[in-house]
Chain A
Amino acid sequence: MKPLTFTLRSEPDERLDLSGLTPHKLHGMQPADIARLPIGTSRRPASVGDVFKVAGKDISNIVFSGGSARFDFVGAEMATGQIRVEGDVGARAGRRMSGGLLNIEGNAGLQAGSGMKNGRIEIGGDAGDGLGGPMAGEIHGMAGGLVIVGGRAGHRPGDKMRRGVIALLKGCGDYAGFGMTAGTIVAIGRVGLYPGHLMKRGSLLFDRRPAALSPTFIDCGRVDIVFPTLFDRYLMEDKILDRPLLGKKPFRFGGDNAVLGKGEIMFPRG
């Protein structure tokens, strides 16, 4: 069966809320019903048929042929199946996602993976600020699952993160893991100011020593433990990285001692 494909007719006139176009929300619907779904966010919102040409029947496998920075909430609350976007997306892609695969070939806007619980998000390009983070008023950000960003992430990736893994393959902006309570952030490349600021628990795993390490992180020395090897093997087996990140005896800093201080920053090179 051919994937359910939404082919973008032209750049939309308004921001779109695509949270309804996930496998479990479209379950049992015919293409004509899908084309009538409202997705615009203006006073007279556009429907699916106004913006996309709809083809294919396999709703467990959704493709957006063409993307836009106005595509908000792509794959939000997705629980099963897969969604692939051949282009960019806007804000909060994969918000509160609980399963399945969301593959974004282009860039993602603000807060992709916001409050995500499970599943996998792959972003080929860059990601905006607050990757995996909470929306206003929420206590926790990402609570599980895996996010891989092929490009560079913005500021505060893993904001108030609680569980799960974020892998940033070309570094990120300032305050990675800001206020995180647990979980793991991996970054290859340059990381901005003060990673781990106010983190209580959790792991920040980098390929190099951060340039601006907060003074509230304390040097624990080079540690001889199994975890780095185990995690390196996981990253390679899951094809997130093609070579070890930490090696056998990485440097470790504990913090943030301004708060609970049970988090860690590890990196292989001094």
Chain B
Amino acid sequence: MQELIRNGIEIDDTFAEAFGMRATAIIITAPSLKWARQAATTMTGFATSVIGCGCEAAIDIDIPASATPDGRPGCRVMIFAMGTDELQKQLKTRLGQCVLTSPGSACFSGLEGSASLDLGSSLRYFGDGWQISKKFGGKHYWRVPVMDGEFLCEAKTGLTKEAVGGGNLFLLAADGERALAAAERAVAAIEKIPGAIMPFPGGIVRSGSKIGGKYKGMMASTNDAYAPTLRGVTKSALGPGINAILEIVIDGQTSEAVAAAMRAGLKAVINFGPKRGALRISAGNYGGKLGKFHYHLRDLLP
């Protein structure tokens, strides 16, 4: 593997391997950004990986009151799944349990897609006959009476089949503190990229995985090549100075969004430098067997 060096940080000449997904986006508004984000974080809770959660979801960006449909602060939430049916199921369940219930919330389509998914259309029956359908300005809304007034929800949102899941960066550091500091820098930079989310806790993954495992039924298991404590007893990818690794996983509305997010993350970690952050940057791939989207770190370097 040819060595690439930027600002004293070694960058592996490898690629992140990603795969096609289905995705949707919604805009949640509320009387304050705090409550819009509360609905959004509740809705995107336990949505880190399709392996165990059914979907991957997170807040994409905050939207100022001046740019939301109802003039209140809001945020855009993105949800990714492997198939349309599962995406619809997750959207409906999470919307009904977490947004409908959240004080003062309203919900709008956040994506013009090639097809549509039910939003208010699947929740309107909560109104028990008192729900009100409104069509104006080319859009369809449902108004559902609730105890603090009315839950207003657009009937449909868009679905895209162009979404990509699994963009990633491995940040290899001398210790856990430095790995986390570098990862936080990367997350802060990627959060600014529209159309890209990081579904894991705070955007960061400690448990990078490989496909399958020795135990029956395990779809994924620990990435032993990148586990510092196994250095020496397994076929390790780590040199002696690396004692902690954190991964940033990125899902994007488009392949371009994933590339832009990885580029922003790389730049942030490289600018942060090796003393306080990562000594080496790599990426996760499975030799090209996982998906058709390959993001070569070499091409994304600042």
A interface with B by C-beta (< 8 Å): 144, 163-165, 182, 184, 201, 203, 223-227, 229-231, 233-234, 237-238, 262, 264
* A234→B130 contact, CB < 8 A: no
Chain B residues positioned under 8 Å from A226 (CB to CB):
29, 70, 72, 106, 149-150, 152
- Interface stretch, picked from B134-142, B211-219, B228-236, B238-246, is B134-142
Chain A's nearest CB lies how many Å from the CB of B155?
13
* B137→A238 contact, CB < 8 A: yes
Distance between Cα atoms of A181 and B106 in the complex (Å) = 25
* A227→B135 contact, CB < 8 A: no
Distance between Cα atoms of A233 and B149 in the complex (Å) = 19
Mostly, the A contact residues are: mixed
The 16 sampled A-B contact pairs (Cβ below 8 Å) are A164-B135, A165-B136, A184-B134, A223-B150, A224-B148, A225-B149, A226-B150, A227-B143, A229-B71, A229-B72, A230-B69, A231-B136, A234-B136, A237-B137, A262-B129, A262-B130
Chain A's nearest CB lies how many Å from the CB of B74?
11
Interface residue total, chain B, C-beta cutoff 8 A: 20
Chain B's nearest CB lies how many Å from the CB of A147?
12
Chain A residues positioned under 8 Å from B150 (CB to CB):
223, 225-227
* A233→B132 contact, CB < 8 A: no
Distance between Cα atoms of A231 and B143 in the complex (Å) = 12
* Among all A-B residue pairs, the 9 with the closest Cβ atoms: A225-B150, A225-B149, A226-B152, A234-B137, A226-B106, A230-B70, A226-B70, A224-B149, A165-B136
Contacts A229-B70, A233-B69 given: A262-B132 contact, CB under 8 Å?
A: yes
Mostly, the B contact residues are: strand
In this complex, what residue of A is CB-closest to B71? Answer: A229
Distance between Cα atoms of A165 and B136 in the complex (Å) = 7
* Residue from B70, B129, B135, B143 in contact with A233 in the complex, judged by beta carbons closer than 8 Å: B70
Contacts A223-B149, A225-B152, A227-B150 given: A184-B130 contact, CB under 8 Å?
A: no
Chain A residues positioned under 8 Å from B136 (CB to CB):
165, 184, 231, 234
Tell me whether B133 is interfacial, beta carbon within 8 Å: yes
In this complex, what residue of A is CB-closest to B130? Answer: A262
In this complex, what residue of B is CB-closest to A146? Answer: B136
Chain A residues positioned under 8 Å from B132 (CB to CB):
201, 203, 262, 264
* A230→B149 contact, CB < 8 A: no
In this complex, what residue of A is CB-closest to B129? Answer: A262
Distance between Cα atoms of A201 and B142 in the complex (Å) = 13
Chain B's nearest CB lies how many Å from the CB of A199?
13
In this complex, what residue of B is CB-closest to A249? Answer: B149
Chain A residues positioned under 8 Å from B141 (CB to CB):
227, 230
Assuming A223-B149, A223-B150, what are 12 further A-B pairs, CB within 8 angstroms? Answer: A203-B134, A225-B143, A226-B29, A226-B70, A226-B150, A226-B152, A227-B134, A230-B70, A234-B136, A262-B129, A262-B130, A262-B132
